[in-house]
Structure 1
Amino acid sequence: MMNNTIFYPDQLISLIETHGSKMSFHKGDYIYHPGDETTYIYTIKKGQVFISRMQPEGVELATNLISEKGIFGAVTLFCGPKVHATYAKAKVNTEIYKISRKRFETLILENEDIKTEWMHWVEIDRQRSITKMRDNIMYGKIGALCSTLIRLSNSFGEETAKGIVIKTKITNQEMGQMCGTSREVVNRLLRELIQQELITIENKVITIHNIEKLRHMINCEDCHIDVCQVF
Structure 2
Amino acid sequence: MEKQILRDYLEKQAIPVVIRKKKSYLTYEGIPDRYVYILKKGIIKTSVVTHEGREFNLRYLTDFEIVSLFKDESSQEVEAPFNVRVESEEAELYKIVRDQFWADVNRDRLLQDYVKEYYRRNLMDTMKKMQQMLMNGKFGAVCTQINELYETFGVQTTDGVLIDFEVTNEEIARFCGITSASSVNRMMQKLRESGALKSVDRKLLVTDIDFIRENIIY
**1:1-231 correspondence runs (5 A):** 9-16=3-10, 19=13, 20-78=15-73, 80=75, 81-92=77-88, 93-181=90-178, 182-220=180-218
Tell me what 1:225 maps to.
none
For the Cα contact (< 8 Å) 1:11–1:117, is it kept in 2? yes
Q: 1:132 to 1:31 in 2, by over 3 A?
A: same
Q: 1:8 to 1:171 in 2, by over 3 A?
A: farther
Aligned length: 214
Normalising by structure 1, we get a TM-score of 0.83
Letter in structure 1 aligned against 2:83? Y
Letter in structure 1 aligned against 2:4? D
For the Cα contact (< 8 Å) 2:172–2:184, is it kept in 1? yes
Matched residues in 1 for 2:59 and 2:19: separation?
20
Shift of residue 66, structure 1, vs aligned partner: 1.4
SS class of match (1:219): coil
Which digits, 9 at most, give the CA deviation of each residue in 1:180-213, with x for residues without a partner? 2232222111111111111112222112222222
Tell me what 1:223 maps to.
none
Shift of residue 128, structure 1, vs aligned partner: 1.0
Matched residues in 1 for 2:150 and 2:105: separation?
32
Q: Which runs of 5+ in 1 are unaligned?
A: 1-6, 221-231
Larger Rg: 1 or 2? 2
Matched residues in 2 for 1:34 and 1:116: separation?
27
Shift of residue 9, structure 1, vs aligned partner: 2.5
For the Cα contact (< 8 Å) 1:146–1:218, is it kept in 2? yes
Q: 1:203 to 1:141 in 2, by over 3 A?
A: same
Shift of residue 61, structure 1, vs aligned partner: 0.7
Normalising by structure 2, we get a TM-score of 0.87
Letter in structure 2 aligned against 1:45? K
Greater relative contact order (CA < 8 Å, ≥ 6 in sequence):
1
Provide the aligned C-alpha RMSD in A.
2.1
